[in-house]
Homo-oligomer: A and B are copies of this chain.
Amino acid sequence: MTAPMPQPEIVHVALGDRAYDILIGRHVLDAAGARLGALGARAAALVTDETVSGLHADAVASRLERAGLRGVRVTVPPGEGSKAMPQLERVLNELLEGRIERGDIVVALGGGVVGDLAGFAAATLRRGVRLVQIPTTLLAQVDSSVGGKTGINAPAGKNLIGAFHQPSLVLADTALLDTLPARELRAGYAEVVKYGLIDDPAFFSWCEENGAAVLAGGDVRDHAVAVSCRAKAAVVVEDEREEGRRALLNLGHTFGHALERIVGYDGTRLVHGEAVAIGLALAFGFSAAMGLCDRDEAERVARHLASLGLPTRLADVPGGFGSPEAILDAMAQDKKVKAGRLTFILARGIGRSFVAEGVPAEEVLSFLRDAERA
């Protein structure tokens, strides 16, 4: 079977002296040697987790070796628990023991956890070395590998310690998604839909027609990844450090993060993308409840997500979500709360999202009480 390799889609992230390319398509990893070799490093450190290591690390390592790069490999346990200070320290010390120098490269091979952890290690090793992202999950390909946010969790909350550190290259090989469990794929799809909901109603319609095919694989999936990367790149170029418009990417995340906190970040109950799916449905439900958006539009959002097997209601949280008060409490510990007022991303309709500051806590509570019974 020697199918012709399709041309990869290239999204350029135009950030001046921090500009970089995202290569998207099946088997773009075949270009890893040439692309990384062109960065002019002497060594490349592959940071991955135990799950991904068994699937893809050898293939990537041999490509880098053939390109003349000395190899170092650092493997962390899978799961959110690795996004913490002890693993960061371990990764940094192993990179130093592996003599990764200022001109060398850290390659993050994995999902969001590996990308965030390895990215932060690259940002702080010798005050910053270059980073290449090779995302292996749909969520990482369409969201976390692009845009330069890196970091770890703290006892006080998620992603509270980190750095903005743009990659020098992103290789989104959609063939890697073939080994992804269906649940992970579905969860990542919530972030794809998000781009339609933010400002691209035509893409949301496309998702309604093609969502099932995206999960099944093939060219349609590649298109979904490319549109998502292009959307994210455009936002990041406009507002790299989230001083304004970039906050729109948090659509669905205020509710979503609160639910993740409530289940104790227990991925057996709720993975990030699932929390975002419920969060997207709630953000539109809340927008409708506040009279900002047609109820039909909100229902259309929930219907599409649910049609692909994603959770959309509070009642869908396995093991329960506590209470509306518990959700508000969880939000209050988030960085998005000031003096009893919350910052939300709300919508005037599909593709018409906006940053809403100063939303009164009582209104949120009242909506959640209704949503609890839905």
Q: Check if A154 sits within 8 Å of B124, measured CB to CB.
A: no
Which A268-287 residues have a C-beta within 8 angstroms of B? Answer: none
> Could you tell me the distance in whole angstroms from the C-beta of A236 to the nearest C-beta in chain B?
14
Chain B residues with CB below 8 A from A155, complex form: 93, 96
Q: A93-B155, A96-B156 are in contact. Are A124 and B163 (CB under 8 A)?
A: yes
Residue A83 lies at the interface, judged by CB distance under 8 Å to chain B: no
Q: Check if A156 sits within 8 Å of B124, measured CB to CB.
A: no
Chain B residues with CB below 8 A from A93, complex form: 154-156
Instruction: Specify how many copies of this chain sit in the oligomer.
Output: 2
> Could you tell me the distance in whole angstroms from the C-beta of A234 to the nearest C-beta in chain B?
21
CA distance A125 to B157 in the complex (A): 12
Q: Check if A162 sits within 8 Å of B127, measured CB to CB.
A: yes
Which A285-310 residues have a C-beta within 8 angstroms of B? Answer: none
Tell me if A's interface is mostly helix, strand, loop or mixed: mixed
Chain B residues with CB below 8 A from A124, complex form: 120, 124, 151, 161-163
Q: Check if A127 sits within 8 Å of B154, measured CB to CB.
A: no
Residue A102 lies at the interface, judged by CB distance under 8 Å to chain B: yes
Residue A206 lies at the interface, judged by CB distance under 8 Å to chain B: no
Residue A149 lies at the interface, judged by CB distance under 8 Å to chain B: yes
Chain A interface residue count, CB cutoff 8 Å, equals 28
Which A133-165 residues have a C-beta within 8 angstroms of B? Answer: 149, 151, 154-157, 160-164
Q: Check if A149 sits within 8 Å of B164, measured CB to CB.
A: no
Q: A162-B127, A163-B124 are in contact. Are A156 and B97 (CB under 8 A)?
A: yes
Q: Check if A149 sits within 8 Å of B127, measured CB to CB.
A: yes
Chain B residues with CB below 8 A from A149, complex form: 127
Residue A85 lies at the interface, judged by CB distance under 8 Å to chain B: yes
Q: Check if A335 sits within 8 Å of B102, measured CB to CB.
A: yes
User: A90-121 toward B: CB 8 Å interface, digit per residue (1/0)?
Assistant: 00110011000110000000000000000010
Which A183-241 residues have a C-beta within 8 angstroms of B? Answer: 241
- A121 nearest CB neighbor, chain B only: B161
Residue A78 lies at the interface, judged by CB distance under 8 Å to chain B: no
| Given A93-B156, A127-B164, 8 more pairs with CB closer than 8 A | A85-B89, A92-B160, A96-B155, A96-B156, A102-B335, A124-B163, A127-B241, A128-B163
Please list the residues of chain A having a beta carbon within 8 angstroms of any beta carbon in chain B.
Answer: 85, 89, 92-93, 96-97, 101-102, 120, 123-128, 149, 151, 154-157, 160-164, 241, 335
List 8 A-B residue pairs with CB atoms under 8 Å apart, sorted by A's residue number: A85-B85, A92-B154, A101-B335, A123-B163, A124-B151, A127-B149, A127-B163, A163-B163
